[in-house]
């Protein structure tokens, strides 16, 4: 990059878009001018990629969520001009950080599934894989969380209200999407997805819903102004807001409309391009040779009947042929075994949204049943496989029949899919099933967010090749017994902790000690993730310190964060509990130099970028068998935190890679929980274990105040006093408590041996290579996509 040219065009852009003199421009102006300048810089390469890949086999990642976060810093890193641009800006007295902070997160996802999609976009481009992302351009992303009096309050997230520096509206590629009761225009916004220092620029295409006709003048001319506006709103409603439920199906008509909307537009886009660039193949003989669609969980499955519809109804392909083509075009990823997330759509809703797709699904179901009957299966034996049963369309079944591949996202998770969730299918078609353990992009989650550690690694390894091939980190092991290196590791962690402490003071108003252990649990709030186990332990620890102020104890800061789905009362109760515990403990002078508790407000990608580098302990404490993989666990590991975790999801693979002796494993395993499931009685643990009783009783003792919301009663009840047919403590919080507590005690003791700790930390960093999403995406490309 030519520095002078960059500076020139930056200033030119700044003045052109603002009509102001340089000195009068605001941070916002400066941010958008920088976006423009970078978009100009990559324009050529982006076009080159689009042109080059017109006739190549491509993978299409269909996802209702892409949790991208901020793009500025990451794009500069991937372009290899981060330092230079910072310098250029400082030469004209612009502080990079202040304009960087102007960027709102693109929070177009809820949690793991959406963030994984974003990591995959980064890795595909970095590995020079031609992968196209298709999704929804929600006007409002995931709600902003505010904490008022300890309660979560949701606010809007109109992330593009000031503009969108990273998208190009491609009006000419607009598509018409027809619902039973309305017709809308789908307008694509393309975001460049940059490979790391390699000139590959892939595209993330997000569709926005707009009225088919901007303004209906017939209404207007008849003075029916509100009617004219109504139609416009009804169209825009479709992509107005991301549903904020993580792991919970949402049965509303509008949700299915969102799904059908982006799937239909995407399928039409693919088919029309195919007809344009492969104009000799009107029979679509080669369609599946050039397209493979990866379905990110059940949300985009409606794309399957939609492809059949477009082939049959709009291109005259015979139904059976269309089915064959489709079967070779789709692959399906499952991201959770929680039943409440598995989508099924009532026939009525489907008829209301996309009746023709329902017809097609019905036919597919009939064919399936017929085939099974011919094989001699009884009606009953066929039941688990039916795509439609009791007038419900079971989306996962549809995807499994119609896909060439079905995968889970960590070893244990895939095993559970085979043994349990999809066991009937596995019996029938074992060859379809495979595992793709998740990963994270090291560019965002280390190079960009932990510059100190990143530079240190490059210095120690004598090259920055590890940024392209993360398994190279393994070579760091030669420093395992080098005291100087270990001290440097501790120093870097300390610096990062100081930075986080400063940020937390500014944002949460809580002062924390960077010399204390930073123990962090950040993720969506969910019972299966067991934030309440963490909190019950803190309560008990607090009481112990009160009783015994001179007890041997290494000061610890417990940091929690995450959003609760707005309708999930118990998750919101957990947030209130965290804040209430924080209030009591942080105001108690007897203990607050030993423990502090922080609930960070509005946890999101850009907050994570500050938290992961500063963690000593990574809390990954889900009930065994419930967390499909987890990816936060990988971000912590890569940044040198030790995992305090159960034998669940990708934790298992973290323990395998870094050595369980360098982490803290606790809790019951899946097999044990399966065995005791029916006989489990949490009350036994409650009565037999004083610490458990102490912690649980505190929920109702009056020491903690839930402001008459009955929230703490709800948590109490769910643990030991089930209401209305509910089972008590289904997530085995009390069962695992004692082991969790003991493991914490061990951590607390071992932390003071700072060199041994640093050695463990280095072991984790050195073995994090496996968890690069580069590895994951290459596995998809090789095993499933054949790219």
Cβ-Cβ contacts under 8 Å for 258 (sequence gap 6 or more): 64, 136, 238, 239, 243
> Does the annotation count 386 as an active-site position?
no
> Residue 390 to residues 305, 344, 379, 502: CA-CA distances in angstroms?
20, 11, 14, 57
The residue annotated as part of the active site, out of 523, 576, 626, 763, is 523
> Does the annotation count 529 as an active-site position?
yes
**Residues in region 81-140 near ligand 7GP by CB under 6 A:** 111-113, 116
> Does the annotation count 411 as an active-site position?
no
* Torsion of Cα atoms, 455 then 458 then 464 then 467, to 10°: -70
Instruction: Using alpha carbons only, give the angle 37, 42, 45 rounded to the nearest 5 degrees.
Output: 160
The residue annotated as part of the active site, out of 58, 291, 335, 497, is 335
CB of 149 to ligand 7GP, least distance (A): 29
CB of 294 to ligand 7GP, least distance (A): 12
Figure out which of the listed residues 631, 643, 651, 698 binds ligand 7GP, where binding follows CB under 6 A: 631
CB of 722 to ligand 7GP, least distance (A): 25
The residue annotated as part of the active site, out of 432, 635, 741, 775, is 635
Neighbours of 180 (CB within 10 A): 13
Bridge partners (DSSP) of residue 148 are 151
Termini Cα distance of the chain: 32
435 touching ligand 7GP, by CB under 6 A: no
630 touching ligand 7GP, by CB under 6 A: yes
The residue annotated as part of the active site, out of 205, 255, 394, 529, is 529
**Cα gap 522→444, rounded to integer Å:** 17
Figure out which of the listed residues 36, 246, 488, 616 binds ligand 7GP, where binding follows CB under 6 A: 246
The residue annotated as part of the active site, out of 413, 524, 526, 530, is 524
Figure out which of the listed residues 623, 629, 743, 767 binds ligand 7GP, where binding follows CB under 6 A: 629
CB of 61 to ligand 7GP, least distance (A): 13
Closer residue to ligand 7GP (CB): 192 or 244? 244
CB of 549 to ligand 7GP, least distance (A): 40
Closer residue to ligand 7GP (CB): 496 or 773? 773
Closer residue to ligand 7GP (CB): 247 or 312? 247
Q: Residue 168 in 3-state DSSP?
A: strand
The pair of structure tokens assigned to 395 is: 């989306």
CB of 333 to ligand 7GP, least distance (A): 8
For 779, counting Cβ atoms within 10 Å of its Cβ (0-12 exposed, 13-18 middle, 19+ buried), the class is: middle
Closer residue to ligand 7GP (CB): 488 or 527? 527
**Residues in region 325-344 near ligand 7GP by CB under 6 A:** 335-336, 341
| DSSP-assigned letters across all residues of 560-628 | EE----TT-HHHHHHHHHHHHHHHHHHT-TTTTTTEEEEEETT--HHHHHHHGGG-SEEEE-PPTTT-S
The residue annotated as part of the active site, out of 336, 437, 623, 631, is 631
Closer residue to ligand 7GP (CB): 58 or 335? 335
Instruction: Using alpha carbons only, give the angle 212, 239, 273 rounded to the nearest 5 degrees.
Output: 65
Radius of gyration for the alpha carbons in the chain, expressed in angstroms and rounded: 27
Neighbours of 749 (CB within 10 A): 12
**Cα gap 244→241, rounded to integer Å:** 9
Q: Are 66 and 114 in contact (CB under 8 A)?
A: yes
- Provide the CA 589 distance to its chain's centre, in angstroms: 38
Closer residue to ligand 7GP (CB): 174 or 629? 629
Closer residue to ligand 7GP (CB): 116 or 538? 116
Residues 297-316, one symbol each (x = binds ligand 7GP by CB under 6 A, - = not), give x-------------------
Closer residue to ligand 7GP (CB): 38 or 665? 665
Residues 664-703, one symbol each (x = binds ligand 7GP by CB under 6 A, - = not), give ----------------------------------------
Instruction: Using alpha carbons only, give the angle 560, 563, 567 rounded to the nearest 5 degrees.
Output: 135
CB of 28 to ligand 7GP, least distance (A): 32
The pair of structure tokens assigned to 721 is: 């006093």
Figure out which of the listed residues 231, 488, 580, 627 binds ligand 7GP, where binding follows CB under 6 A: 627
Query: Nearest-CB residue to ligand 7GP?
Result: 112
Q: Are 418 and 433 in contact (CB under 8 A)?
A: yes
**Residues in region 177-236 near ligand 7GP by CB under 6 A:** none
396 touching ligand 7GP, by CB under 6 A: no
The pair of structure tokens assigned to 472 is: 């190279």
CB of 521 to ligand 7GP, least distance (A): 14
Closer residue to ligand 7GP (CB): 75 or 403? 403
Map 337-362 to HEC letters: CCHHHCCEEEHHHHHHHCHHHHHHHH
> Does the annotation count 298 as an active-site position?
no
Q: Are 534 and 695 in contact (CB under 8 A)?
A: no
> Does the annotation count 335 as an active-site position?
yes
> Does the annotation count 631 as an active-site position?
yes
CB of 116 to ligand 7GP, least distance (A): 4
653 touching ligand 7GP, by CB under 6 A: no
Figure out which of the listed residues 649, 667, 682, 769 binds ligand 7GP, where binding follows CB under 6 A: 649
Closer residue to ligand 7GP (CB): 111 or 192? 111
Using alpha carbons, select from 640, 440, 621, 460 the residue that is nearest to residue 538. Answer: 621
Among the listed ranges 100-108, 346-354, 466-474, 621-629, the one in contact with ligand 7GP (CB under 6 A) is 621-629
Figure out which of the listed residues 311, 628, 670, 718 binds ligand 7GP, where binding follows CB under 6 A: 628
Closer residue to ligand 7GP (CB): 333 or 761? 333
**Residues in region 265-304 near ligand 7GP by CB under 6 A:** 297
Among the listed ranges 51-59, 378-386, 628-636, 728-736, the one in contact with ligand 7GP (CB under 6 A) is 628-636
Using alpha carbons, select from 650, 656, 622 the residue that is nearest to residue 636. Answer: 650
**Cα gap 211→216, rounded to integer Å:** 9
The pair of structure tokens assigned to 138 is: 């929600």
Closer residue to ligand 7GP (CB): 342 or 428? 342
For 399, counting Cβ atoms within 10 Å of its Cβ (0-12 exposed, 13-18 middle, 19+ buried), the class is: buried
CB of 338 to ligand 7GP, least distance (A): 7
CB of 622 to ligand 7GP, least distance (A): 8
Neighbours of 316 (CB within 10 A): 9
H-state helical runs in 328-432: 347-353, 355-374, 379-382, 395-402, 411-416, 423-428
CB of 667 to ligand 7GP, least distance (A): 16
H-state helical runs in 164-216: none
**Cα gap 78→81, rounded to integer Å:** 8
Among the listed ranges 6-14, 455-463, 629-637, 699-707, the one in contact with ligand 7GP (CB under 6 A) is 629-637
Q: Residue 556 in 3-state DSSP?
A: strand
Closer residue to ligand 7GP (CB): 29 or 246? 246
Count of chain residues binding ligand 7GP (CB under 6 A) = 18
Query: Residue 521: in which H helix or E strand, if any?
Result: strand 517-522
Give the binding site for ligand 7GP (CB under 6 A): 111-113, 116, 246-247, 297, 335-336, 341, 409, 438, 627-631, 649
Known catalytic residues are: 335, 523-524, 529, 631, 635
């Amino acid at each position: 990059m030519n520095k002078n040219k960059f500076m020139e065009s930056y200033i030119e852009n700044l003045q052109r878009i603002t009509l102001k003199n340089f000195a009068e421009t605001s941070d916002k102006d400066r941010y958008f001018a920088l976006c423009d300048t970078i978009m100009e810089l990559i324009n050529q390469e982006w076009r080159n990629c689009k042109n080059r890949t017109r006739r190549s086999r491509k993978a299409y990642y269909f996802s209702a969520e892409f949790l991208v976060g901020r793009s500025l810093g990451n794009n500069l890193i991937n372009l290899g001009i981060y330092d230079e641009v910072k310098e250029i800006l400082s030469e004209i007295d612009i502080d990079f950080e202040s304009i960087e902070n102007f960027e709102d997160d693109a929070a177009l996802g809820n949690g793991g599934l959406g963030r994984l999609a974003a990591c995959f976009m980064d890795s595909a481009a970095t590995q020079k894989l031609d992968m196209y992302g298709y999704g929804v351009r929600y006007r409002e992303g995931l709600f902003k969380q505010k904490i008022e009096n300890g309660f979560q309050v949701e606010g809007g997230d109109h992330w593009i209200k000031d503009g969108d520096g990273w998208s190009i509206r491609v009006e000419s590629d607009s598509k018409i999407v027809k619902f039973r009761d309305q017709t809308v225009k789908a307008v694509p916004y393309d975001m460049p997805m940059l490979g790391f220092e390699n000139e590959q620029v892939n595209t993330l295409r997000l569709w926005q819903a707009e009225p088919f006709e901007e303004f209906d003048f017939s209404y207007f001319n008849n003075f029916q102004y509100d009617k004219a506006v109504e139609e416009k709103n009804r169209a825009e409603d479709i992509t107005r807001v991301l549903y904020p439920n993580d792991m919970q199906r949402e049965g509303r008509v509008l949700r299915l409309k969102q799904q059908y909307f982006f799937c239909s537009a995407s399928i039409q886009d693919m088919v029309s391009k195919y007809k344009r660039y492969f104009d000799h193949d009107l029979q679509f003989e080669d369609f599946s040779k050039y397209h493979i669609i990866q379905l990110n969980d059940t949300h985009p499955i409606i794309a399957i009947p939609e492809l059949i519809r477009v082939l049959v109804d709009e291109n005259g392909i015979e139904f059976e042929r269309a089915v064959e083509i489709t079967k070779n075009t789709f692959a399906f990823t499952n991201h959770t075994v929680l039943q409440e997330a598995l989508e099924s759509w009532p026939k009525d809703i489907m008829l209301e949204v996309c009746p023709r797709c329902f017809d097609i699904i019905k036919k597919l179901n009939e064919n399936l049943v017929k085939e099974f009957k011919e094989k001699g299966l009884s009606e009953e034996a066929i039941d688990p496989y039916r795509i439609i049963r009791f007038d419900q369309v079971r989306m996962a079944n549809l995807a499994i029949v119609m896909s060439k591949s079905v995968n889970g996202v960590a070893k244990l998770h895939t095993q559970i899919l085979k043994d349990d969730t999809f066991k009937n299918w596995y019996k029938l078609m074992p060859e379809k099933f495979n595992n793709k353990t998740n990963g994270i992009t090291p560019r965002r989650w280390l190079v960009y967010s932990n510059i100190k550690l990143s530079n240190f690694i490059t210095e120690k390894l004598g090259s920055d090749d590890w940024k392209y091939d993360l398994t190279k980190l393994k070579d760091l092991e030669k420093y395992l017994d080098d005291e100087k290196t270990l001290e440097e590791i501790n120093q870097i962690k300390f610096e990062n902790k100081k930075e986080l402490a400063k940020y937390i003071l500014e944002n949460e108003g809580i002062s924390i000690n960077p010399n204390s252990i930073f123990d962090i649990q950040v993720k969506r709030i969910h019972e299966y993730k067991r934030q309440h186990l963490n909190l019950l332990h803190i309560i008990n620890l607090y009481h112990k310190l009160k009783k015994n102020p001179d007890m041997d104890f290494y000061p610890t800061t417990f940091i929690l964060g995450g959003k609760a789905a707005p309708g999930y009362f118990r998750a919101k109760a957990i947030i209130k509990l965290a804040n209430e515990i924080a209030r009591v403990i942080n105001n108690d002078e007897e203990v607050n130099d030993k423990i502090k508790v922080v609930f960070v407000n509005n946890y999101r990608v850009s907050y994570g970028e500050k938290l992961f580098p500063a963690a000593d302990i990574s809390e990954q404490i889900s009930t065994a068998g419930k967390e499909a993989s987890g990816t936060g666990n990988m971000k912590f590991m890569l940044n040198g935190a030790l995992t305090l975790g159960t034998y669940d999801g990708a934790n298992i693979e973290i323990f395998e890679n870094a050595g369980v002796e360098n982490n803290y494993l606790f809790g019951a395993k899946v097999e044990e929980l399966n065995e005791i499931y029916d006989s489990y009685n949490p009350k036994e643990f409650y009565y037999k274990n004083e610490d458990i009783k102490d912690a649980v009783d505190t929920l109702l003792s009056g020491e903690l105040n839930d402001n008459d919301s009955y929230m703490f009663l709800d948590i109490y009840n769910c643990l030991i006093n089930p209401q209305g047919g509910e089972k008590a403590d289904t997530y085995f919080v009390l069962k695992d408590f004692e082991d969790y507590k003991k493991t914490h005690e061990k951590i607390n003791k071992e932390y003071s041996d700072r060199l041994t700790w640093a050695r463990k930390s280095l072991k984790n960093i050195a073995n994090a290579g496996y968890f690069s999403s580069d590895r994951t995406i290459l596995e998809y490309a090789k095993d499933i996509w054949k790219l």
